[in-house]
Structure 1
Amino acid sequence: MTALPFPIELDLIGIGSGNPDHVTRQAVAAINAADLILLPRKGAAKDDLAELRRVILGACLTNPATRVVEFDLPARATGHADYAGGVGLWHDQIAEAWAGALRGAGPAPRVPVRVALLVWGDPSLFDSSLRVARRLTPAPRIRALPGISALHALTAAHAIPLNTTGQPVVITTGRRLRERGWPGEADSVAVFVDADGAFRHLPPEGIRIWWGAYVGMAQELLDHGPLAEAGPRILSARAAARARHGWIMDLYLLRRTGD
Structure 2
Amino acid sequence: MRKIHVIGIGAGDPEQLTLQAVRALRDTDVFFVLDKGEAKADLTALRRDILTAHVPEGTYRVVRARDPERDRRAGGTAYAPAVGDWRGARADIYERLITEQLDADGTGAFLVWGDPSLYDSTLGILEELLDRGTVSFEYDVVPGISSVSSLMARHRTTLNRVGRPVQITTGRRLAEGYPRETDDVVVMLDAHQAFRRYVDQDVDIYWGAYLGTADEILVSGPLGEVAPRIERLRAEARERKGWIMDTYLLRRDPGCD
SS in 2 for 1:82: helix
Matches within 5 A, 1:16-27: 16-27=10-21
* 8 Å contact kept, 1:17–1:149: yes
2:115 alignment partner in structure 1: 122
Code of the residue aligned with 2:43 in structure 1: it is L
2:198 is aligned, of 178, 187, 202, to 202
In structure 1, the gaps of 5 or more residues are: 1-6
1:131 alignment partner in structure 2: 124
Code of the residue aligned with 1:127 in structure 2: it is D
CA offset at residue 74 of structure 1?
1.0
Structure 1 Cα separation of the partners of residues 151 and 56 of structure 2: 30
1:44 alignment partner in structure 2: 38
Structure 2 Cα separation of the partners of residues 160 and 257 of structure 1: 16
Code of the residue aligned with 2:153 in structure 1: it is A
CA offset at residue 85 of structure 1?
1.3
2:162 alignment partner in structure 1: 165
Structure 2 Cα separation of the partners of residues 234 and 99 of structure 1: 40
Q: Cα gap change, 1:204/1:140 in structure 2, threshold over 3 Å: closer, same or farther?
A: farther
2:140 alignment partner in structure 1: 143
Question: Is 1:254 aligned to 2:250, yes or no?
Answer: yes
TM-score, normalised relative to structure 2: 0.92
SS in 1 for 2:212: coil
Q: Which one is further off, 160-169 or 33-42?
A: 33-42
1:237 alignment partner in structure 2: 233
* 8 Å contact kept, 2:8–2:21: yes
Structure 2 Cα separation of the partners of residues 206 and 126 of structure 1: 28
Q: Deviations over 1:22-41 (max 9, x none)?
A: 01111111111112111221
CA offset at residue 55 of structure 1?
0.6
* 8 Å contact kept, 1:181–1:202: no
Structure 2 Cα separation of the partners of residues 204 and 95 of structure 1: 44
Identity percentage over the alignment? 44
2:73 alignment partner in structure 1: 79
Question: Is 1:57 aligned to 2:51, yes or no?
Answer: yes
* 8 Å contact kept, 2:199–2:223: no
Code of the residue aligned with 1:16 in structure 2: it is G
Q: Deviations over 1:58-111 (max 9, x none)?
A: 111116342211111112112235211111111111111222333553xx53x3
* 8 Å contact kept, 2:150–2:212: yes
* 8 Å contact kept, 1:95–1:135: yes
Code of the residue aligned with 1:128 in structure 2: it is S
1:214 alignment partner in structure 2: 210
Structure 2 Cα separation of the partners of residues 256 and 203 of structure 1: 11
Structure 1 Cα separation of the partners of residues 201 and 51 of structure 2: 46
CA offset at residue 163 of structure 1?
0.3
CA offset at residue 42 of structure 1?
0.3
Structure 1 Cα separation of the partners of residues 96 and 224 of structure 2: 48
Q: Which one is further off, 32-41 or 118-127?
A: 32-41
Structure 1 Cα separation of the partners of residues 89 and 2 of structure 2: 19
Q: Deviations over 1:113-164 (max 9, x none)?
A: 3210110000001111111111113453221101100000000000000001
* 8 Å contact kept, 2:199–2:227: no
In structure 2, the gaps of 5 or more residues are: none
TM-score, normalised relative to structure 1: 0.91
Aligned length: 248
Code of the residue aligned with 1:161 in structure 2: it is T
Question: Is 1:98 aligned to 2:94, yes or no?
Answer: yes
